């Protein structure tokens, strides 16, 4: 009878534990991270049920995979959401740069039809200003995305720090629980809470957990950087970038130290990794490409306008002001006051890329230049170059600098080997570009020279201006053109072409001195250059800056006069050259070392829109795939650890019946005991 009572009592308590565990499972149906529990009993050597133990039902491999998929999904979600914002921005017709460019060229066509009318000229100025406004607005809104990313990174780091500390604290509770529990196992609730914290951390960045012998979870990043150890934990800090203070970067330090070090973000997953990948591979390229387009367009328009004459009879000037920037020095440079001005060489806008560059000094006077795109090296290093002796002198393509770069150096004392600078020639160009012209008369739509065909000529030949290559009147260091900059041609410049009895064309200057003789009327100035008439040591390769051709039958003594075009009425020669820029390959594809691979302005902008759209589309496709994988891994975890109401309800009924049956055993034992007592009394 005592055995029967013992069996009933232990069975009653055991089934009560089953009921409590089942009820706890049902109560935590919607608790995030909760793992289904089960009560197990040790075998008993005599009668009844042994000691009970509540265990978690989980699959560690499934949990690890779920954590990895969580990190990848969070990264792709962050990337896709931010890229979609940029895609929406570029799909707005009101900000389309292509439409602005088309509008300017449409106005130029109108002005070409009426070159002396001020109204179409004014419309060119107005639409050019509208285009500048579009460039500035679109570039500014794109740059605002970096501020958004900076703020997002700071927010994510704060949340990550809180989770890391929580994991460290719960580790201590788990270690204590494991020591104090009779079973030698930590509380299932603590383990569930720990795994849920680790899962939330995986949403921020990819992590690799390791369980220590004492039950604590040690945590590292994918790159091996420890986050939680037995003795301490690490915390992230958002800091101003080096060398770009407007870019938020990440440092890490232990909780018990003030020593900080840079955090390696290569291959980082989670939301933080998605933000950094978006910034480096999408946003940087987009902003730089906008600046590249602004520079290439402005430079092409500037160079062509300078090859014409205005309504005032002056040589044209720049239509746009192309900004210069300052190279960003790294913190460990020999001085924070070193200054390097970065510009784009006039006429080299077609060589500009959307790359960033790192300038590294190899000595106090020599440096190299290396291009970067998305943080990766592009092409080969250029240099070494020797800095100019004067801080007012610049270096450019003539000195070997790549991609249209023009640099001016002003050292604080002197530069030192290992000094490094970040060069971003296009990043702010879209925001800082400005109009230089404000009067319609300043548009140089006419040719800078006239070619006269005197009526007294006997032949039917006609001379014409076929090209203008330069109007540069600086004469330093070379005499680049025959224009003196004061409304005339140089006295020794080609001013007359005479057809001789010998059947040749004689070129004379304004005083009648013979400059040279050529055999045909096609490209006369080129023939003189090929003959070495103008020494390359003193004259530029395009001197005199204009090209003349004679077509038709000339007679001996026929003359053709060349003069500066001081009266530009009814002349649209340069206007047509300006309109031709719309369909001319004036922009460089972003290919290292290949400046001949070019695009039109609209093709370049279409490529930029295509890049943003394609990146967004691929991010959304990858996100959809990751959602599917995440769902599968979550389902795998739930198969083992998830609460199934049908199963729990069935268990509840089963254990309730077992509990009642156990109570009946006790009742039977009590009845037998009472019967025995009654028999003894009798």
In a domain, 530, yes or no: yes
Residues 559 and 652 in one domain: no
In a domain, 394, yes or no: yes
Beta strands in 387-503 (DSSP E): 394-395, 405-410, 420-423, 434-435, 449-452, 462-468, 496-499
Residues 322 and 431 in one domain: yes
In a domain, 321, yes or no: yes
Residues 313 and 430 in one domain: yes
Residues 436 and 465 in one domain: no
In a domain, 93, yes or no: no
Q: Put the strands of the sheet holding 505-508 in their side by side order.
A: 449-452, 559-564, 496-499, 505-508, 514-518
Asked if the model's pLDDT at residue 658 lies above 70, the reply is no
Residues 548 and 661 in one domain: no
Q: How much is the pTM?
A: 0.88
Domain tally for the chain? 3
Residues 480 and 436 in one domain: no
Average pLDDT, the chain: 89
Q: What is the domain extent for residue 19?
A: 2-57+642-681
The bridge status of strand 325-326 relative to strand 320-321 is unpaired
Rounded mean pLDDT, 228-257:
90
pLDDT digits (tens, 9 = 90+) for 173-232: 888 876 666 555 777 888 878 888 999 999 999 999 988 888 888 999 888 889 998 888
In a domain, 240, yes or no: no
Residues 468 and 433 in one domain: no
> What three-state secondary structure class fits 63?
helix
Structure token pair of residue 333: 């440079």
Rounded mean pLDDT, 471-481:
88
Cis-peptide into 657, omega within 30 deg: no
pLDDT digits (tens, 9 = 90+) for 318-375: 999 999 999 999 999 999 999 999 999 999 999 999 999 999 999 999 999 999 988 8
Residues 407 and 479 in one domain: no
In a domain, 344, yes or no: yes
**Domain ends where: 383, 418, 440?**
440
pLDDT digits (tens, 9 = 90+) for 526-536: 999 999 999 88
d(CA 431, CA 567): 37
Choose the weakest-confidence range: 124-128, 210-214, 280-284.
210-214
Residues 468 and 534 in one domain: yes
Residues 489 and 374 in one domain: no
In a domain, 243, yes or no: no
- Sign, CA torsion 100/101/106/111: positive
**Domain ends where: 440, 468, 491?**
440
Residues 403 and 501 in one domain: no
> What three-state secondary structure class fits 235?
strand
Per-residue model confidence (pLDDT) at position 648: 67
In a domain, 97, yes or no: no
**Domain ends where: 418, 440, 462?**
440
Residues 390 and 317 in one domain: yes
Q: How many residues does the chain have?
A: 682
d(CA 499, CA 484): 27
């Amino acid at each position: 009878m005592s055995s029967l009572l013992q069996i009933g009592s232990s069975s009653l308590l055991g089934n009560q534990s089953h009921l409590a565990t089942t009820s706890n499972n049902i109560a935590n149906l919607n608790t995030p991270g909760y793992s289904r529990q089960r009560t197990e009993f040790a075998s008993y050597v005599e009668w009844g049920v042994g000691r009970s133990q509540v265990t978690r039902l989980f699959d560690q491999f499934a949990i690890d995979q779920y954590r990895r998929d969580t990190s990848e999904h969070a990264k792709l979600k962050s990337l896709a959401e931010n890229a979609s914002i940029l895609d929406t921005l570029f799909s707005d017709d009101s900000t389309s740069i292509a439409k602005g460019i088309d509008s300017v060229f449409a106005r130029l066509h109108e002005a070409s039809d009426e070159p002396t009318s001020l109204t179409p000229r004014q419309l060119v100025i107005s639409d050019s200003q509208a285009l500048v406004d579009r460039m500035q607005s679109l570039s500014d809104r794109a740059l605002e995305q970096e501020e958004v990313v900076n703020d997002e990174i700071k927010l994510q780091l704060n949340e990550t720090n809180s989770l890391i500390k929580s994991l460290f604290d719960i580790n201590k509770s788990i270690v204590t629980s494991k020591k104090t529990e009779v079973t030698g196992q930590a509380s299932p609730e603590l383990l569930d809470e720990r795994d849920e914290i680790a899962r939330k951390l995986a949403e921020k960045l990819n992590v690799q957990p390791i369980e220590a012998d004492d039950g604590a979870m040690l945590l590292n990043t994918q790159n091996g950087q420890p986050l939680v150890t037995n003795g301490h934990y690490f915390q992230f800090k958002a800091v101003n970038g080096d060398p770009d203070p407007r870019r938020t970067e990440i440092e890490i330090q232990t909780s018990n130290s003030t020593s900080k070090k840079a955090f390696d973000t290569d291959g980082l997953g989670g939301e933080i990794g998605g933000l950094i990948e978006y910034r480096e591979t999408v946003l940087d390229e987009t902003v730089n490409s906008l600046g590249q387009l602004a520079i290439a367009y402005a430079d092409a328009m500037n160079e062509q306008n300078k090859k014409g004459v205005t309504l005032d009879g002056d040589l044209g000037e720049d239509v746009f002001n192309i900004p210069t920037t300052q190279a960003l020095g790294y913190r460990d440079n020999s001085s924070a006051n070193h200054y390097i001005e970065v510009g784009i060489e006039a006429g080299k806008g077609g060589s500009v890329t959307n790359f960033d560059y790192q300038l590294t000094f190899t000595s106090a006077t020599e440096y190299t230049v290396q291009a970067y795109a998305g943080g990766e090296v592009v092409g080969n290093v250029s240099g070494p170059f020797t800095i100019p002796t004067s801080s007012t002198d610049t270096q450019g393509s003539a000195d070997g600098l790549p991609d249209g770069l023009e640099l001016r150096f002003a050292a604080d004392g002197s530069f030192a080997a290992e000094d490094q600078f970040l060069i971003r020639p296009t990043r702010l160009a879209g925001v800082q570009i400005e109009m230089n012209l404000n009067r319609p008369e300043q548009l140089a739509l006419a040719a800078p020279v006239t070619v006269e065909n005197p009526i007294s000529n006997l032949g039917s030949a006609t001379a014409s201006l076929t090209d203008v290559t330069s109007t540069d009147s600086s004469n330093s260091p070379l005499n680049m053109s025959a224009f003196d900059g004061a409304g005339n041609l140089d006295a020794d410049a080609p001013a007359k072409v005479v057809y001789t009895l010998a059947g040749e064309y004689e070129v004379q200057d304004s005083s009648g001195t013979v400059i040279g003789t050529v055999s045909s009327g096609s490209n006369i100035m080129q023939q003189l250059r090929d003959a070495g008439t103008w020494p390359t040591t003193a004259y530029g390769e395009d001197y005199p800056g204009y090209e003349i051709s004679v077509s038709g039958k000339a007679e001996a003594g026929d003359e053709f006069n060349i003069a500066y075009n001081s009266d530009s009425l009814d002349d649209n020669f340069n206007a047509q050259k300006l309109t031709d820029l719309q369909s001319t390959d004036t922009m460089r594809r972003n290919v290292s070392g290949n400046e001949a691979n070019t695009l039109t302005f609209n093709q370049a902008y279409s490529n930029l829109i295509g890049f943003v759209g394609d990146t967004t589309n691929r991010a959304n496709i990858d996100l959809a795939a990751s959602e599917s994988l995440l769902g599968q891994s979550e389902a795998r975890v739930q198969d083992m650890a998830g609460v199934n109401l049908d199963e729990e309800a069935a268990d509840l009924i089963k254990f309730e019946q077992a509990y009642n049956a156990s109570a009946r055993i006790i009742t039977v034992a009590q009845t037998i005991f009472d019967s025995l007592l009654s028999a003894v009394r009798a």
